A and B are shown apart, each in its own frame.
Chain A
Amino acid sequence: MTQNADTLIIGGREFTSRLMVGTGKYASFEQTARALEISGAQIITVAVRRVNLDRSKESLLDYIDLKKYTLLPNTAGCYTAEDAVRTCRLAREAGMSDFVKLEVLGDEKTLFPDNEELLKAAKILIADGFTVLPYCSDDVIVCKKLEDLGCAAVMPLGAPIGSGLGIRNPYNIRIILENVTVPVIVDAGVGSASDAAIAMELGCAGVLMNTAIAGALDPIAMAEAMKLAVIAGRLSFKAGRIPRKLYANASSPLDGMIG
């Protein structure tokens, strides 16, 4: 199989799947587990929240085989570097792993990153031994700064979180791809399988999504669609597409036409 040799390495760990999936917004823990299974994802994101002391102690992790997945705790909901760093330290203690998806939000309406706070948090976390995968703007300058700090990947948004608008600025993603050497993972904005394929055809190392799967009418079917789209997009990128031309170029020979 072609894609078996084509592994993704992040923070010294090797992955065969380039689809990363979030675990929020599913109808049930059973559905979450099934969607993850079908998606083939090996990296899954989770959020860090207070244990609810009044309700059932049932937990998402009771449904997920932790031997199969690398947990990527996020700092969703954090608006300052300080809160994000605090959340990462709790996540490391709870999960015994240094991997974190660092997000520091600037605004509730757009959920766009606050890149200034993001850089501040990334610096502290990297000094503290974390493997940092930052959710950031589709801005090559910010991505380069994050790479220079020692982030293990950069994860520019395709469009606002949960918007399903797709890759709004493929040229920015291309510029990022040409200028950083760490894996570039499109995080947020994907709405359908074609969006995921576009991200991969641009040359991204992977795609991270949650709402596109969890919010679909049939999340299990969409998980499979996303798995196939990421594989297809990656193969298409590696195969090298034909140049775009304005006019036709016949596929059948011109010689030997009947008189």
Chain B
Amino acid sequence: MKILLNGDFVETAEGATIASLLRQLDISRERVAVELNADIAPKADYEKQLLCDGDKIEIVHFVGGG
């Protein structure tokens, strides 16, 4: 299935969760926030939150800024 991840379509396995996606991307969950279809995904839900074809995911973190 395909998801829209940070503006780009990427292929993910059926049954993928937010947690498995972060593992696949080698991103530590502590310092990121994830939005699933424009709603915040609470960290506590990462393991159980299944992804569906066409889901829009945003993964953000802190960068230098004023």
Contacts and interface: CB of A to CB of B under 8 A. Distances in A.
B64 A25 contact: yes
Interface of A is mostly: mixed
A124 interface: no
Interface string A172-188: 00000000000000001
Contact of A46 (B5, B7, B59, B63): B63
A22 B66 CA distance: 4
Given A49-B60, A50-B58, A94-B32, A211 B27 contact: no
A129 to B, nearest CB: 13
Given A53-B5, A61-B31, A90-B35, A74 B61 contact: no
Interface string B48-62: 000000000011111
B27 A47 contact: no
A94 B66 contact: no
B42 A210 contact: no
A210 B66 contact: yes
A122 to B, nearest CB: 19
Interface residues of B, number: 26
A73 interface: yes
B40 interface: yes
B65 A76 contact: yes
Residue from the set B32, B34, B40, B63 with the largest chain A CB neighbour count within 10 Å? B63
A39 interface: no
Contacts of B38: 86
Interface string B10-51: 000000000000000111000111110010111100000000
- Residue among B27, B59, B61 with most chain A CB within 10 A: B61
Given A59-B31, A89-B40, A73 B59 contact: no
A137 to B, nearest CB: 17
